[in-house]
Amino acid sequence: MGVAAGTAAVTAERLMRAALVGGALLLAGCSSDDTGYVPIGGSAPNNVITESIDTGAALDVDPGKGVGLFVEYVAGGTWHIYATCDTVTSGYDCSWDLVASVDPTTRLKVADQMTEFDATNDKVLTVDKGSIRIIFGDNSTKIDGVKLAGPAGAPLTLDWYWDDDRDPSLVSFVQGGAAIPGAASDPAVFEPTTP
């Protein structure tokens, strides 16, 4: 099964806004109009969809040829979250800002930063016991990724921001043996088929 990274067109205007806004987003985290983020003391968005994700299934990506965020789950509680960009066709780099979280009474931690993690441009920040913020900066013709360890079989909520876009169609995962090119919502909850 193969999945090409998303083929979202990147316009010059969009990239200009990304250059201006992207740095501020990385520093500020989120603003009042980021409807996917829950404000302190606020309630969760009511449009979050739960997606089933096949345990042990992997995606085949082509870095540099498409924009995409990819989610995989391995039995025992390991999540592989990684991103690609369309630099070969667009000539531009991408930046990703993600928040991954599990039930706050449990723990989520970095399992492996792997060779996909570029310590110069990428960051992993602990938000609290059950949440981790991941920043993939200047993603171009390579894969940027991390592995996270959470409770076996527990759902993972993922909230993402790509440059200046919150497009759920950029997220791919495997469901029912088929590669799904797009989540139903942002944020989305991914629930493994088996622990």
Q: 3 in a domain, yes or no?
A: no
Q: 146 in a domain, yes or no?
A: yes
Structure-block tokens of residue 180? 């799904």
In DSSP terms, 67 is beta-bridged to: 6
Give the DSSP letter of residue 67. Answer: B
Strand, helix or coil for residue 52 = strand
Distance, in Å, from the CA atom of 74 to the CA atom of 57, rounded to the nearest integer, reads: 8
Question: What is residue 39's predicted lDDT score, i.e. its pLDDT?
Answer: 46
Please check whether residue 171 is in contact with residue 178, taking contact to mean a CB–CB distance below 8 angstroms: no
Domain that holds residue 103: 12-31+58-192
> pLDDT (tens digit, 0 to 9) for every residue of the chain, 195 residues total?
344 333 332 322 222 223 323 333 333 333 334 444 444 444 555 589 999 999 999 999 999 999 999 999 999 999 999 999 999 999 999 999 999 999 999 999 999 867 888 888 899 999 999 999 999 988 889 999 999 999 999 999 999 998 878 889 999 999 999 999 999 999 999 999 999
Q: 64 in a domain, yes or no?
A: yes
| H helix count then E strand count, the chain | 2, 12
Q: 51 in a domain, yes or no?
A: no
Q: 42 in a domain, yes or no?
A: no
16 alpha carbon, distance to own chain's centre:
22
Q: 69 in a domain, yes or no?
A: yes
Q: How many domains does the chain have?
A: 1
Q: HEC states along 150-186?
A: CCCCCCEEEEEEECCECCHHHEEEEECCEEEECCCCC
pTM: 0.77
Q: 159 in a domain, yes or no?
A: yes
Entry field: residues in the chain = 195
CATH number of residue 186's parent domain: 2.60.40
Distance, in Å, from the CA atom of 49 to the CA atom of 158, rounded to the nearest integer, reads: 11
Q: 169 in a domain, yes or no?
A: yes
Distance, in Å, from the CA atom of 173 to the CA atom of 158, rounded to the nearest integer, reads: 12
Going by C-beta distance under 8 Å and a sequence separation of 6 or more, which residues neighbour residue 2?
Answer: 59, 60, 179
